[in-house]
Each structure stands twice: as structure tokens, then as C-alpha cells.
Structure 1
């Protein structure tokens, strides 16, 4: 029994997803997912903005196999703060089939960074979504970016489209590979060509060290549960413009979802709508995540 009680409006992740009609290519990677707790073993952070239900490594591995993925990239969830033990536990029990993205504080030691590197961490995530953090992590990101550069790690940044102009110069000065979560959360009621989204495209176009995840249509769509058609033009534009720098992931178990809980099988069936050829699907799901997270296997 967890020592924590999930928020009253927390929606539990889908326990019976449909079997996807879309057959994933061999070696496919779910490049953005999480674990929560279990809370009795890996307590949630006191400063968390939400309290989720438990979602264990065993449940993640079962979903991976059911959907047809071969590997996972486990991203540290904000509800665990900078305590990376739950994420590291996944890596250590994955038989080499999972890599990680950590959250760290400026006080992290070089010894701790090297230990995480040995376990399979390949990046550090920084959250710039103002409603989810108490303070924006400009100073810590700058210092950590310099320290992880020798390890070959990358930075993952999470922000919302309306804030990109404010962050643009700071982000583009970072000295490492940068991966943007969920296309920078575009407002899909606005034009796919022009305005805010053109600025995001320019970010990737002018900065070849920038990558983008084209995940989480359930967070971006205004069309209603399990539809997400309004997200397709945005994700397709990114995939077709930058086929060698895009990633996709389920976002299981879907942190802090309040309106509806997506079916992970249906999310997989969304992929061929945004990556419309086998070549694009191979790059999105296999070649790109392997090159970023398992480069030793790509030689």
C-alpha cells in the first residue's frame, strides 16, 4: 500500500489498452515514458505539484511488450523531483533495454553524474512550464549543461509555445544537444504555418543541435478524447522537416492528465498519421532514438 493518496481528480492510466493496428518496426523505442513510485518504495517529492497513482517498472515493461516496443527511455517525472531512484531502478532492471533522463540540482556531484551515466542516464531534463515550477531553472541549466558535456549527455527542455520568444536566445546558446518535449506545446487552434509555430520551426532549422519529440497529442488536442486530428498537421510538419531529429513516446502513465486518459494502443495507431512512410517511421521510432541513446549499438 502506498503511503501517498493520489489527487482526487487524478485519472488512472489505461489498464486495458487496445492492441495497436499499426505494427511497430523492429527495434522500436518508446522514447518518452515515466514511472511513478511505487510510493512506499520511492516516495514522491514533498515539493511536487501533483500526487499520482503508482505506476511501476513491471507495469511499464508489460506495456512495452504488449504494444510492440523493444526499448524505453524513462524520463524523470516532476512528482519525484530530483530524487532519481525510481527512474534508475528501471534502468538497472531493464537488461540494457532502457535509458534515462534525470532531473538534477546544481549541487549534484561529479561522482553522482558518473554513477548515473554508468546506470544508463543520457540526459537531464529542465522544466520551463511556469505553472509546474516554483522558479525557472536558468542558472542551474547553464551550469549543468557545461558539466554534462564531457559525458555526451543532452538537455531536455519542456516549455509552452507562448514562452519560446522569451527563452529563445538562452536556449540556443546551450553547448550540447537539446531535445524539446512535445513540440514546445503549440496552440493547435492557431495556424500550423505562420506565427508561433514558425518560430518553433525556425528554432530547429537554425540550430542543428536541436531535436523535437512529436509526442503527447492528448495534451495538445482541442478535438476531444482519442481524436487528436488537430495535432496531425503540426507533428507531420516537424517529422517531414526534420526527419533525422525527431523522437516519439507514449508519455505513459500520462502525468497530471485531468480531462481524459488516453489509450496507449490508440496513441500507437496515431503514429502513421504523422510519419506517413516506412522510411519516416523507421527514423522516428528506431534510427533516431538509437543514435541518441544507444550510439554504441549503431556503430
Structure 2
């Protein structure tokens, strides 16, 4: 399988088992459900396999309907909704053991000249070379790497702000977070693979912004969380193996749900991808206290 980046590429390399039907591998993990970024990335690969290569993805909208089971393959069924002169639309259902666990709609756009361009500036932050890797930072404090960190191994992730390790350190912290990230090796030149790698990565840290005011990101969790839906807009070409700044914030948390939005900038300060996600948050029951919710 090679290094973690090779494993990520292998994970995104679906098997075609019929016209418009693909099968994706789901790694065996000790965690209770399949990582949402994996399912979204695989579904986008399935959609892209049915689209002409000159039409890059420009947006996706997805719902996580049921938790996926680690170690069980996921079948992706692609519906060719539209093949227009400029836009191509695909709908993908992820099915596991006969049940739909995921639904995605993706749109692809034939590149064309824009009559105007604008964007808000990227925030001023330290450069990634001046920051420790998340693996080093977490490992130096905890003395071990939590199981779910294995999902991040294909990526070099570096937090812009220092990590907080206690509730006292969270006093006055705003619901904002930022990381630099890139794959830990080259990905080749297929734009679809880069888009799917960033789709995978976009689900790793986005809900951090929701949690920051209430609990440290690492260590014992007091809240169980799960992604409910996910949307992305791809504005410009980019490479996932070059540094990208992922700026994240949570404008609201209410009703056991937290909303997070993210922006990915390249090193030139260009906004290349925008992301929105809503997550479900429920307090984890203390031993002996009975079920929650």
C-alpha cells in the first residue's frame, strides 16, 4: 500500500463494477463509523468518472444519512442528471449493505473567461514552516496519538493558533480555527484527485470551530459529534499537495447543531475553495447516568 498518501490515492481509486456503479473500499477501523470525508471524496470520484475531463467540479452538496460501517465496502450509484453545453450534473448515492448512507449532488463546469473577479483578502497568519505539525504537537503533550488521528496521516496539518488543553484555557476563545494543510507527498496532475483529496481533508477540522469555545480539541471528549451535511464550491484551480490555509469559523450553534464555514486559500492568498457544514452535537453520558437524547 506504500505511504499514507499512496493509501489515500488507493482509497479514492474506485472499482467500476457496472455502468454508473462503483465500489469503494472502507478501511477496517476501531472507530464506530466511517469517516465522512472519505465517503464524500469517494462519491465525488464516482461522479467525476462519468464526466468529461475538461469539466472540473465547481460545487458539491451532500448529506450524511446514516453512519457507515468500517471495513464494509460502499457502492456508489451515479445518476446522470444533466449533460449541458456548459454544465454537467451528477447525483450519487452511497449504499452499504442495502441501505443508503450518503447522498451527493455535484456540478461540473466547462471553464470560461470571467467578466470580472473579486475576493475578500486572506487573513494574515504565520507561514506553515514556522508552525509545528499537529502530530508533533499532540504527541508531545499526550505521549500518544489518538486513534482518529490516523485519518489525518496523509496530510501535514499545522494549527495556526496554539492548542488549548484545559477548560480554563478556553475562557474567551472565539469559535474560530485555522490550519495549514497539504498532502504528505505528490498527488500527480489529475485535478479530480486533488479536488477529492481536499474534499476528504475539508471534513477533518471544520467542526473544530464549533467545539473550541466549549472543550479542548484533544483529549477526553464531552460531546459526540457527527457531520449532517457538507457543501463545497471550487473557485480556482489548486493543488492539494501545495500548502493551503483553511480558515474556519462557526457563526451559530443551537438546537444540538453547529454550523461551520471554511475558506481555503493558496499561498498567493487566492481563495480557491469555500466550505459549509452542519454537525450534530450531543453530550456524552457519564457512566451510570443513563442514555442521552
User: How does the TM-score come out when normalised to structure 1?
Assistant: 0.24
Structure (1 or 2) with the greater strand fraction: 2
* Higher gyration radius (CA): 2
Structure (1 or 2) with the greater helix fraction: 1
